[in-house]
Amino acid sequence: MKLAVFDTHSYDQQALSAANVRHGHEIVYFEPRLHAATASLAAGFAAVCPFVNCRLDAATLQQLAQGGTRLVALRAAGYNGIDLAAAKALGMTVVRVPAYSPHAVAEHAFALLLTLVRKTHRAYNRVREADFSLDGLVGFDLHGKTLGIIGTGRIGRVAARIATGFGCRVLLCDPQSDPAFAQQLDASYCELPQLLAQSDIVSLHLPLTPDSHHLINAESLARCKPGVILVNTSRGGLIDTPALIAALKRGQLGGVALDVYELEEGVFFQDWSGTGLADDQLARLTTFPNVLISSHQGFLTREALANIADTTLENVRAFAAGETLINAISC
């Protein structure tokens, strides 16, 4: 099948090309993200493959349909950037990669957390300047702390297991509670206000939906234990950024580790070192010494990239063969 892959980097091309040896699709890679201004590049392609920050609104989907596109094969789990109702009206099928390597994202959450609380990023920079002093580098043990996991899907469950391995008391919050899972870990499900009030660390592992949008806002931040550490490796829109900045300014938060950002589209995955950031909120976040930001790289492991590529191309193959699409998304 003829497939146009958008928002590609070298690691995408390597993983997809390796997986395509088994499938034999005709793949063309495009560097730009897929949106209304770039949709014309997909003319003549039966399928397009966007990434998480592409924007497939009604106008973009209309252009794609006019160009002959029948399948949108998203190579990510989240699909909030696609107008599913418009796709359905145009007779277009949308598929995704619902799970790839939950370990990749969960482990990255703890990489950020450990870096933040043990200040290893600051120590690394000091030593490179021949500064071997330890002043200002005091951290704290994870052992014995209460770690709240909001969202206990595949990634959240892996994160909970890792937290248990560190000797944390684990609180869980999810509309779909699983008492058997909690019992395995000696963890507890509770309501969000209780989790926020008791947790020393709060880690977000849930999708972005209308219900979860700005779940972390001024009100929920006020419920948190003073000095709480907040980790988000899920979706940027889960956090109200102005409310987060306000809480940081008044010293309510002990630290924030982010792999995602609400307005990351057009910023993340690109090099702005020569021009600086035009986004005032993101620029402000980078000035706090207790804020650590990575550029949506939680998925970036060899294992996860291979899984994403395999599932994406298998979705395309199944569509071309007229088979049942187990990863289809409906509105």
Q: How far apart are the first and last CA of the chain?
A: 25
- Selected catalytic residue, list 33, 235, 262, 314: 235
- Selected catalytic residue, list 296, 303, 314, 317: 296
Give burial (CB, 10 Å; 0-12/13-18/19+) of 185: middle
Contact call for residues 229 and 201 (beta carbons, < 8 A): yes
* Angle, alpha carbons 232-238-240 (nearest 5°): 105
What distance lies between CA 295 and its chain's CA centroid?
10
Q: Give the dihedral sign, CA 241/247/251/253.
A: negative
> Which tokens hold the place of 77?
């789990």
- Phi, then psi, of 63 in degrees rounded to 5: -65, -40
> Which tokens hold the place of 119?
């200040």
For this structure, is 264 an active site residue?
Answer: yes
Contact call for residues 61 and 81 (beta carbons, < 8 A): no
For this structure, is 96 an active site residue?
Answer: no
Contact call for residues 45 and 2 (beta carbons, < 8 A): yes
CA-to-CA dists, residue 153 to 37, 157, 237, angstroms:
35, 6, 18
- CA 60 – CA 83 distance, rounded (Å): 9
For this structure, is 314 an active site residue?
Answer: no
Torsion of CA 65, 67, 73, 79, to 10 degrees: -50
Contact call for residues 149 and 171 (beta carbons, < 8 A): yes
- Selected catalytic residue, list 33, 157, 262, 264: 264
- CA 175 – CA 255 distance, rounded (Å): 27
The Cβ-side half-sphere exposure at 61, using a 13 Å CA radius, reads: 22
> Which residues are the active-site residues?
235, 264, 296
